[in-house]
Structure 1
Amino acid sequence: MQAIRLRPASPGQPPYSPQNPAPSSALQLGNDVQIPMPTHAGELLVRIRAATVTRDELTWPEIYVTQSAIPGLDFAGTVVSTSSSNEESPFKPGDEIFGMVDTDRSSVWAEYAVVKVEEACAKPLMLSWEEAAALPLSALTAYQALFDKAGLPRPAFGDLRNRSHNVQETTGRRILITGATGCVGIYLVQLAKLAGNHIAALTSSVDRNRAFLLSLGADEVVETGNLGKDIRTYDAIIDTIGGKILEMCWSRVTLGGNLVSVESSSFGFDQKHRQTSADPREDVRAVFFIVKPSRAQLEEISQAIDLGLLRAFVAESFPLMDAQLAYDQCKQRSSGRGKIVLTI
């Protein structure tokens, strides 16, 4: 099969690692890679139709655990076979599915991949392969940040079918979302609004992004440069940027509120703040987390898509052979909305 593999460092050069990440030129197309096979209960062989590119994936430690690793987490494709176990599977050959593999099992930049049943869900009927692949990691990150980590009540999507953002009943909870036009931010805005919250969307350009963010359900759009001047507080802040913006967010959370960051550079930010700040904000519940696969949550997200409550976004598509170009494009700021996708 065809697959993109990570070529090892050249002889005499230090091995690639998170401290010495591989350049995008190390992403090479192989034409004779062995097709993997399901070997354990609950596994599926999937013919991959589309997969996404995640910014900075070549800096993650998981990708250097094995040699010649195949990158890629998000996927959409068709079930080819299930494991030989007698355990009944919710999927059968021919089923169209989408999902994300766990971060320690990246493997979907390939024609075929083995995924676990709990990492997959039936593909929303109204989505293309590319749109379906663009959804899982970003939407699951948003879902888990809002409802698992920040503790906001989950929306009952079936009850919202005939409602629009303009007539949505609000709870009075005020939520600030940083990086609101980013790959995760666009789902944070939509899901938080569907849960009935008042949404303040932080963006680098109100002029460029205001209409788009309001169309997603934001109630107000805040310029990033104005955050330091904003004296309002929020019941929860979901951060996708990290750095200085995250530092400023501490003073914007209400007593007993939640501050959640999904930006990879924010690991341990709560301990660092409380050890170094004159105001450690012990009253704030702060957490950084890494998204985990969840079939149950994907099913809820899929329901919201099929009901027309949630929109999926594809910024750009590339063929598998152009994975290096796609990765380079992903690292640059783009005016496109959503994920960059590889078609296979």
Structure 2
Amino acid sequence: MRALIVDRSAPGGLRVGEVPEPVPAPNQALVRVTATSLNYGEVKHGIETSEEGTVLGWDAAGVVIQSAADGSGPAVGTPVVTLDERGGWAEIRAVRTDWVGVAPEQAEPGAISTIPVAAGTALRTLHRIGPILGRRILVTGATGGVGRYAVQLARLGGAHVIASTGDPGRHGEALRALGAHEVVSGPAQAGNGLDGVLDMVGGTQLVEAFDQLGQNGTLVAVGHSMGEGESFPYGALFSGPGRDNRSIVTFMLLFCDGLDRDLAWLARQVADGVLSPEITWRGGWDDVSKAVSALVERRLHGKAVLDLL
């Protein structure tokens, strides 16, 4: 079967090649992939660190062509959206059934392929913060794939949503259209007393965002795109009036249970137009180097989708 394989001598570090079809474990279904979305982490770090010939790819949408031998998961012919640690950039992937979400028949594959990492992370991060109805929630790195879904989901959950981006003048209108009540240039401009922060950036922005938390506030460290550590000044972790019981928690989507249910629910919201997939780049196998360059160089805001047809 055809797949995008790691080849660091090729433009973007990937090329189309032939690989054996996967042999599923008893708890895995085989899915014929029709579309996959790219994520910064797998493009930036996966290509750099994986062995030559590896088939990467976290997100993929397609149709089940062989159900799991243990009887779990959807039947043959079911449209699905899938998540796994690799294998999404191929014509066929084997994926454990608790990481498979059933999609509506009318769902557009490219749109729902954007869901697993981006929307799944945003949804579970908001769950980690807790009830958000009427709460002030800050989303840093709001123009990225996770950030755009987080803005929409936080607004859908009844939060007062503050979106942070390095260029509010350029991205403010689009973020407000997604549901942001305010668009700011950094966490310090969000004002103190925040109930929750979804931080995609790390580094100094995480430190600044933590300083804006109010009592019982939670910051979830989702991403680390700045590529730098966090250094808290003396006194930053002191408690006090309005600042007691603040917390920082880390997060990894693949450690969550019940992802099949989340993926199915999110697929319905995208198919019904409740959530926008925010696709800002789309192409085929031979165009992947363009998408890789745009992601790595931070020129792509939103999601990149490859059609594997």
Identity across aligned pairs (percent)? 27
Q: Deviations over 1:53-77 (max 9, x none)?
A: 2214255479857652101110011
Task: Name the residue aligned to 2:134.
Answer: 172
Query: 2:292 matched to which residue of 1?
Result: 327
2:236 paired residue number? 279
Q: Is 1:37 the counterpart of 2:23 in the alignment? A: yes
1:298 equivalenced with 2:263 (yes/no)? yes
Change (3 A) 1:191 1:308: same
Name the residue aligned to 1:150: 129
- Alpha-carbon distance, 1:208 to partner: 2.2
Q: Secondary structure at the match of 2:124?
A: helix
Q: Looking at CA atoms only, which structure, 1 or 2, has the larger radius of gyration?
A: 1
Mean Cα deviation higher: 56-65 or 120-129: 56-65
Instruction: Output one character per residue of 1:221-252: Cα deviation in whole Å (capped at 9) or x when no partner.
Output: 2223xx43554320111111222211211210
**Any residues of structure 2 matched to 1:83-162 within 5 Å, and which?**
83=68, 85=69, 87-101=70-84, 103=85, 106-147=86-127, 149-152=128-131
Q: Which residue identity is paired with 1:151? A: G
Deviation at 1:215, TM superposition (A): 1.7
CA shift for structure 1 position 90: 3.4
Residues 67-118 of structure 1 deviation map (CA, whole Å, 9 limit, x = unaligned): 52101110011111124x3x323322221111211x3xx1111111111111
**2:32 matches 1:52:** no
Aligned-pair CA distance for 1:321: 2.9
> Equivalences for 1:178-189 in 2 at 5 Å?
178-189=140-151
* One-letter identity of the residue aligned with 2:21: I
**d(CA) in 1 for partners of 2:294 and 2:171?**
21
| Cα offset, 1:298, TM superposition | 1.2
> Which amino acid is the alignment partner of residue 292 of structure 2?
Y
On the 8 A contact 2:43/2:296 being kept in 1, the answer is no
Structure 2 CA distance for partners of 1:231 and 1:305, relative to 1, 3 Å: closer
CA distance in 2, matches of 1:207, 1:8: 37
- What is the alpha-carbon distance in structure 1 between the residues aligned to residue 202 and residue 61 of structure 2? 30
Letter in 1 for 2:129: A
Shift in Å, 1:326: 2.1
- SS of 2:89's partner is coil
Change (3 A) 1:197 1:65: same
Query: What value does the CA root-mean-square deviation take over the aligned residues?
Result: 2.7
Q: Deviations over 1:29-70 (max 9, x none)?
A: 21x3111122x2221111111112221425547985765210
User: Counterparts of 2:40 and 2:11 in 1: how far apart (Å)?
Assistant: 11
Match of 2:304 in 1: 340
**Contact kept in structure 1, 2:203 and 2:228, CA below 8 Å:** no
Q: Distance in 2 between matches of 1:44 and 1:290?
A: 23
Q: Decide whether aligned partners of structure 1 residues 307 and 61 sit closer, same or farther in structure 2, where only a CA change above 3 A counts.
A: closer
**Structure 2 residue ranges without an equivalent (≥5):** 240-244
In the alignment, the residues of structure 2 paired with residue 128 and residue 185 of structure 1 have an alpha-carbon distance, to the nearest angstrom, of: 22
Pair 1:230–1:297, CA change in 2 (3 A):
closer
Shift of 1:306: 4.2
1:7 is aligned with what amino acid? D
Structure 1 counterpart of 2:204, from 241, 244, 247: 244
For structure 1, which segment, 200-209 or 259-268, has the greater mean C-alpha deviation from structure 2 after superposition? 259-268
Asked whether the 8 Å contact 2:115–2:263 carries over to 1, the reply is no
Query: Which structure 1 residue ranges, 5 or more long, are not aligned?
Result: 10-22, 154-170
Which one-letter code corresponds to 1:298 in the other structure? Answer: L
Shift in Å, 1:211? 2.2
CA distance in 1 between partners of 2:47 and 2:130 (Å): 29
Is the 8 Å Cα contact of residues 277 and 303 (structure 2) preserved in structure 1? no
Match for 2:54 among 65, 69, 80? 69
Measured after TM superposition, the shift of residue 259 of structure 1 is: 0.7
CA distance in 2, matches of 1:97, 1:279: 45
Deviation at 1:119, TM superposition (A): 1.1
Q: What residue in structure 1 maps to residue 171 of structure 2?
A: 209
Q: Which amino acid aligns with 1:185?
A: G
State the SS of the aligned residue for 1:235.
strand
The SS at the match of 2:81 is strand
Please give the TM-score of this superposition, normalised by the length of structure 2. Answer: 0.86
Further displaced range: 298-307 or 69-78: 298-307
> Where does residue 221 of structure 2 map in the other structure?
261
1:175-205, CA deviations, whole angstroms, 9 ceiling, x for partnerless residues?
A: 1111222111111111111111111111222
Question: In the alignment, does 2:14 pair up with 1:27?
Answer: yes
